[in-house]
Copies of this chain bind each other. A is one copy, B any other.
Amino acid sequence: MSTFGTLFRVTTYGESHCKSVGCIVDGVPPGLTLDESDIQPQLTRRRPGQSKLSTPRNEKDKVEIQSGTEFKKTLGTPISMIVKNEDQRPHDYSEMDDYPRPSHADFTYMEKYHLKASSGGGRASARETIGRVAAGAIAEKFLQQISNVEIVAFVSQIGEVKMDRNPFDKNFHHLLNTITRDKVDATGPIRCPDIEKAPLMVKEIEKYRGQMDSIGGVVTCVVRNVPTGLGEPCFDKLEAMLAHAMLSIPASKGFEIGSGFAGVEIPGSKHNDPFFFDKDSNRLRTVTNNSGGIQGGISNGENIYFSVPFKSAATISQEQHTATFDGKDGVLAAKGRHDPSVTPRAIPIVEAMTALVLADAVLIQKSREFGMNVVH
């Protein structure tokens, strides 16, 4: 369905050619300072070709809060937000509509809904993510208020050009400890904070653009200052909710947390994260963080970090041999010029989904505090 979360809950709507896209965010605690200026920056970062927070001139994808705030404070009631679509008309039929686009949602939507919408797999459109980003911005503001939570995502791989994201390497953890959105955006639209790799990634993208092709990439995300105790044992482990959230983003193909796939080669004696008492924070911490900030499904207060691969964009600017809905072989014509890598644009979406997972986990954990304070 189109709803995510239990207590901090977003419901999105909208596809490419309807009047508007947006969402309702329910369960936002009352009294939080909030207006559109808290939400617009991430929406702007989501737009194609944008990177700086500071270029709202000639704004598109402008969000309007409909409800749930008064005098720039949340009321505790549902917050509805809308962003108007510029192109609101379903397009006319063209020969290309005979073809389900390869690796798109056209075919599967037809199998699911048994009808052909103008925009093919309508909800598979990237515009659907606008509602998520808007909702995530509210979640993020809430998390900042209660625990100074910081969420920063960045591009760590484009095609074969990879940043080192070895969890057993101190440099990687230094990066995770210090990276900021400003540093990410400082490298321009590529959004890779590694100043050596960033230009190589740009080159990689340009190569595929030249070939009228596309290329994939990986987004890595870190969350700092996470309260301990978030997440549920069993089905709703914190990493399970994060994986759910990440795999719900269009074009994502996976998820790994902490040491991830690479970690399986490291024996337990090295992979385990031993504890020590940290005088600065006056609490138990772990020496290493191969767990990625979550143990037994519950946050331990260390950095949460994870990576998400995004496939090469399915829409490409060259011909493709394929078949029509009716089963006839043919060639799907090239159409316009397309962004050869959508990975950098996924950054604010990854951040938003992360914030939504954490805000919900915070509210759920809060509901248990009786046990600690009263019942004992």
Contact = CB atoms under 8 A, between A and B. Distances in A.
A213 B234 CA distance: 26
B142 A375 contact: yes
A150 interface: no
Interface in A98-123: 99-100, 102-105, 107-109, 111-115, 117-118, 121-123
Interface string A290-313: 111011111111000000011111
Contact of A320 (B67, B124, B239, B269): B269
A278 to B, nearest CB: 9
A329 interface: yes
Contacts of A75: 15, 113, 115, 117, 122
Contact of A258 (B68, B242, B253): B253
A24 interface: yes
A149 interface: no
A244 interface: yes
A354 interface: no
11 contacts: A31-B375, A66-B82, A108-B298, A112-B368, A124-B296, A239-B253, A254-B261, A255-B255, A271-B311, A272-B316, A366-B369
This chain: copies in complex = 4
Given A247-B243, A268-B213, A309-B260, A70 B90 contact: yes
Contacts of A102: 272-275, 286
Q: How large is the interface on A (under 10, 10 to 19, 20 to 34, 35 or more residues)?
A: 35 or more
> What are the nearest 6 A-B pairs in CB distance?
A105-B296, A216-B264, A277-B327, A254-B256, A29-B371, A214-B268
Interface centre among A29, A108, A115 (most CB of B within 10 A): A108
A104 B296 contact: yes
Contacts of A11: 3, 11, 24, 26, 78
A51 interface: no
A102 B271 CA distance: 9
A195 interface: no
Contacts of A74: 371
Contact of A67 (B19, B105, B121): B19
Contact of A267 (B213, B297, B368): B213
A174 interface: no
A21 interface: yes
Given A78-B2, A213-B267, A257 B253 contact: yes
A337 interface: no
A12 interface: yes
Contacts of A70: 17-18, 90, 117-118
Given A20-B80, A269-B318, 10 more contacts: A2-B235, A11-B24, A31-B114, A33-B375, A70-B117, A75-B115, A128-B233, A234-B248, A255-B256, A256-B261
